[in-house]
Chain A
Amino acid sequence: GEDVEQSLFLSVREGDSSVINCTYTDSSSTYLYWYKQEPGAGLQLLTYIFSNMDMKQDQRLTVLLNKKDKHLSLRIADTQTGDSAIYFCAERPGTYKYIFGTGTRLKVLA
């Protein structure tokens, strides 16, 4: 079935890199996304990658895609306390269909 899996928690020290991992199931997904959600707020689109790419870099964010293993990761360089949030991975198996993971709660320790 359709499922996007993420680990529940990640804790890092300020200034370190964070790596959040995700596995998805639908190989037909053409786009894969990372969203950030702060407490009580909506989801903020951080970045996304087209399925024919294996890497995308956007300032402190690096997305890696392993299509063979259906594995997506988000690396945040020089993690700051403001990066503390829940991060959602999502796949897009259809034009109007998005499947979201359960989110990874990132805690940045000062």
Chain B
Amino acid sequence: DGGITQSPKYLFRKEGQNVTLSCEQNLNHDAMYWYRQDPGQGLRLIYYSQIVNDFQKGDIAEGYSVSREKKESFPLTVTSAQKNPTAFYLCASSGAGVTLYEQYFGPGTRLTVT
């Protein structure tokens, strides 16, 4: 089954700790994205990556970091510098050719920092 997996579904951390959210896709998509969703708001882009070993900041990159060492994987680290990290984090990917215009999402990770 092709798709995007995110783990874990729920994550709890103490303030001051870094935490890494996993995102894996087997759709053979080139581009991957991380969004943050807060209650009653739309999605805000944190980072995106067009190809392996390349990534770009989105609208709210401060306090976050990413890597793209493999096409299938795009982990997001929420650092202690992120002032308000509690949110629902969504990973997405988009392909090439006929699927270039289609962006698909993973099931999300809900991060709670106390």
| Given A45-B102, A48-B101, A48-B102, residue A102 in contact with residue B40 (CB < 8 A) | yes
Tell me if B90 and A101 are in contact (CB < 8 A).
no
B41 close to A102 (CB less than 8 A): yes
Question: Once the chains bind, are A100 and B101 in contact (CB under 8 Å)?
Answer: no
Closest to B50 in A: A96
CB within 8 Å of A: which B81-103 residues: 90, 92, 94, 100-103
CB <8 Å contact, A42 and B105: yes
Q: Please indicate the chain A residues that have their CB under 8 angstroms from the CB of B90 in the complex.
A: 42-43
Cross-chain contact A101 with B108 (CB below 8 angstroms)? no
Asked whether, in the complex, the Cβ of A4 is within 8 Å of the Cβ of B42, the reply is: yes
Write out, one digit per residue, whether chain B residues 38-62 have a CB within 8 A of any chain A CB (1) or not (0). Answer: 0011110100101000001000000
Nearest-neighbor residue (CB-CB) of B49 within chain A: A96
Q: In the bound complex, do residue A43 and residue B50 qualify as a contact, i.e. CB atoms below 8 Å apart?
A: no
Per-position 1/0 for B1-24, Cβ under 8 A of A: 000101000000000000000000
Tell me, yes or no, whether B78 is within 8 Å of chain A by CB.
no
- In this complex, what residue of A is CB-closest to B4? A42
B interface footprint on A88-101 (CB within 8 Å = 1, 0 otherwise): 10001001111111
Of the candidates B4, B48, B107, which one forms a contact with A96 in the assembled complex, judged by CB atoms under 8 Å apart? Answer: B48
Contact of B42 among A30, A31, A100 (CB under 8 A): A100
Which A residues fall within an 8 A CB radius of B? 4, 30-31, 33, 35, 40-45, 48, 88, 92, 95-103
User: When A and B form their complex, which 9 residue pairs have the shortest distance between CB atoms, in order from nearest?
Assistant: A100-B42, A42-B105, A43-B105, A100-B43, A42-B107, A102-B42, A42-B108, A31-B101, A96-B48
